[in-house]
Amino acid sequence: MSSLPLAHVSHWLVQLLYVVPVVIVVGALAITSIRDRRAERSMPDPADEPAVR
């Protein structure tokens, strides 16, 4: 009763295994989103291309 919840660190560390998949997927998600944005930015704007006659 007198111990703090944070005292059971080893117990908590085992529980962190349940968070790892979420962290991995969210990390992959963030990286993919950033890459997508960069790719979109690097694509030439169709308005800048010379018109085909």
d(CA 43, CA 51): 17
Q: Does 9 bind another protein (CB under 8 A)?
A: no
- Among residues 43 and 52, whose Cβ is nearest to another protein? 43
Chosen residue from 9, 10, 13, 23 binding another protein by CB under 8 A: 23
User: How far from 44 is each of 35, 40, 47, 50, CA to CA, in Å?
Assistant: 16, 9, 8, 12
Footprint of another protein (CB under 8 A): 1, 3, 5, 8, 11, 14-19, 21-23, 25-27, 29-30, 32-34, 36-37
